[in-house]
Amino acid sequence: MLFRFIVVLGCIVLFINGCNSLISQNFGTHKLRTYTMEQVVRENIGDSDFIEVTGAWQSGDFLHAPGRRFPDKPILLYPLLDRAQLTALDSNQVVQPAIVAWTEDFSPDCLSQNNCIERKEFTLKGIVRKIPSEKDRSDQFSAARYKLPENVIFVEINKAPIEWYWNLAMMVGAVVLAFLLESSAFKKTKSLNNNS
């Protein structure tokens, strides 16, 4: 009985999660929204979860946060600036990056050569997601160059929400599993009632 209750509860959670993500992808915060870096600096991104930002500049500065234990991957984090902020940084002014990008996808060889992040303009695409707390070293950016605002946006680059068909599969799978479990329990109860 307890097993059945836990499985049905799990199915409900899976169904709601799949449904919520499916709706968010098409009508809500998981839908790709495009901004310029200047817009992000001036206006922020609101409640967007999946963003593309054009005109973002990497200054070449980065921090490395190693993984704590085996399956934990290390990450690189680096500030993103607009053109005006990059010019101010070059003039030895402190800037407030609106976005700190982070990734687990990098070659460890770049650490010894100190060239993991090159200075360039690019288009950022990723999911707004906090850095895991044990790896968040964003407060270690040079205070002589950067001051992170309170509403800084952390973006895991080159990531996207789960595809819509996986969310649909999660919903359908949860319904089928719950139906099969309840059907089996109903048949058992019916056969016990018939035998007594």
pLDDT of residue 62: 92
Q: What are phi and psi of 116, to 5 degrees?
A: -65, -40
* Residues near 50 by beta carbon (within 8 Å), at least 6 away in sequence: 29, 30, 31, 32, 33, 126, 127, 128, 160, 161
pLDDT of residue 133: 81
pLDDT of residue 160: 78
- Per residue in 83-130, pLDDT (tens digit) is 999 999 999 999 999 999 999 888 888 888 888 899 999 999 999 988
Q: Which helix (H) or strand (E) holds 25?
A: helix 2-27
pLDDT < 50 stretches in the chain: none
pLDDT of residue 110: 87
| C-alpha 55: how far from chain center | 21
